[in-house]
Structure formats: structure tokens, C-alpha cells
Amino acid sequence: MSVTSRLAPLRRFGPVNWMGLATLIQREARRGLQDYNYQILGPVVSSLLYLAVFHLALRTTGTAESNADLLNFIAPGLIIFVACEKAFECAAGSFIFDKHERVIADLLMAPLAPAERVLGYLGGCCLAGGAVGIAVALVTLFFANLSLYSVGALVFFALMGMMLHALIGILVGIWAEKWDSFAAVHTFLLLPLSFLSGLFYRIENLPEAGQALVRFNPVFYAIDGFRFGMTGTGSADPMIGAGVLLAINVALFALTYVWFRRGYRLKP
């Protein structure tokens, strides 16, 4: 019997390795949610504290109706903010952890194309972010009256926002060698972009120069579009926001694909 006949036949995956892609998505989603005390309860408690502080502070000012309107305005932004934060943390943390544990080679050896790797991490991190967002949405019902204006807009801007943060997280995770780099990007880039995007206030209350500056912030369009999907009102045209987020996500996806294909900071 020849050597060739004794070898097992090569497994063909077709144009897309669906099994490998699903496995990577499952792995990343499970990794992002496995420690529920920290991964889910942590964001839920933080969101409750935000809402409780605003609720107590507003009781001393304004009317009950205006206070309720403000809480209803803040709640959607807080939901998408927490979901996006989880997507970024899941993506960046996964790479940095694998680098420190010296198991990043397992990813490179898997029979996955660069685009499949990007989609796998995106899918897993967006699932983790969505799970945390749903948990936060449930607890906000104690403080705000959540509504639903457009399911399509709600899902679209939620996905676009989580994809934006997950792609940034993948790039940061590939680039960073230490947890300090991850913390620096999160503290000095993403948090300011989120807090200065109309998360807790209406940008119409800002001076014209401030409003123009906020409109250069892509996180603003994710939060404003998600809020539009819930309340039907927003500070920007949803079509403009959708176009901005699509363009940025496509550019980030292309950059991530190139880094995976070249093995930038992944190959020894």
C-alpha cells in the first residue's frame, strides 16, 4: 500500500469554512460572557448607578415630567454605550490575553481565511455586547419608559456601533503588547468620544461650534441612531449617521483584514 493511499483525504471546506467560523464566534462570545459576575453584572450595576444618580439629582430640580423625559432620553444612550464598551473590551482583551499566554499561534494555525477570522471575532464580540445591552435594557425599565419606534434602525445602529468598537478593539489587541496600551486607548480615546457624543445631554444645548465638533465623532451617530430607533427623535439625520458608520466600519474592516493577512504583530 502506498503512502498516499494510507493518508486521510484532505477535508474541503468550500468557499467559506462555516464550521470554523461558527466555532470562533462561539469561542469569543463565550469568552466575553463566561464570568457573569464581572462581564454582565458589572455593567448592569454601573448602569443602575448612573440612572440612580441622575434620578436622585433630578428630583431636586425641574418638574416630574421634565425629569422623566430626561431619563427616557438617557436610557437608550446608556444601553448602546454599555454594549459597545463590552464589544471593544471583548475584542481587545482576547488578543492581549492570547499574546500573554502565548497561544496566539493557535489562531494562526486554524484553517480560516483572514476575512473569516475578522468576521469570527466581530460576531463573537457583537453577541457578547448585545447580551450585555439586553441585560442593561431590562434594568433601565425601573427608571425609564423604554419605547420602540423602529426595529430596523434600532438593530442597525446597535450593530454598527458594536462593530465600530469591536473593530477598534481588534486593532488595539493586535497592536498592543501590554494591558497598559489597552487601558490608555480606552481611557483617552473611547471614553471621551462616548461621553462627548451626547450620551447624557442633547447636543442642541451646545454652542454651534460644539455641535459641529460633535458631528465629527462617529460614536455620536451610533448613540443618536440607536436613540432614534427607540424614541423616533434624534439630533442628526439617521441616513447620514448610517452612511458615516458604514464608511468607517468598511475602512476599519479592510485595515483589520490586511493586518490578519500580513500577520502584523501576530507572527513571531
pLDDT tens track, the chain, 268 positions:
444 445 445 555 678 888 989 999 999 999 888 776 677 888 888 888 888 888 777 766 655 566 678 888 899 999 999 999 999 999 999 999 888 888 888 877 888 899 999 999 999 999 999 999 999 999 888 888 888 999 999 999 999 999 999 999 999 999 998 899 999 999 999 999 999 898 888 898 889 998 999 999 999 999 999 999 999 988 999 999 999 999 999 999 999 999 999 989 887 6
CB atoms within 10 A of CB 148: 10
Q: Find where cell 418638574 sits.
A: 63
The pTM for the full model equals: 0.90
**Distances 56 to 62, 75, 198 between C-alpha atoms, Å:** 12, 15, 21
Q: How far apart are CA 230 and CA 243, in angstroms?
A: 19
Cα–Cα distance between 82 and 134 in angstroms, integer?
10
* Beta carbons of 25 and 94 less than 8 angstroms apart: no
Give residue for cell 451617530. 221
Rg (CA), the chain: 21
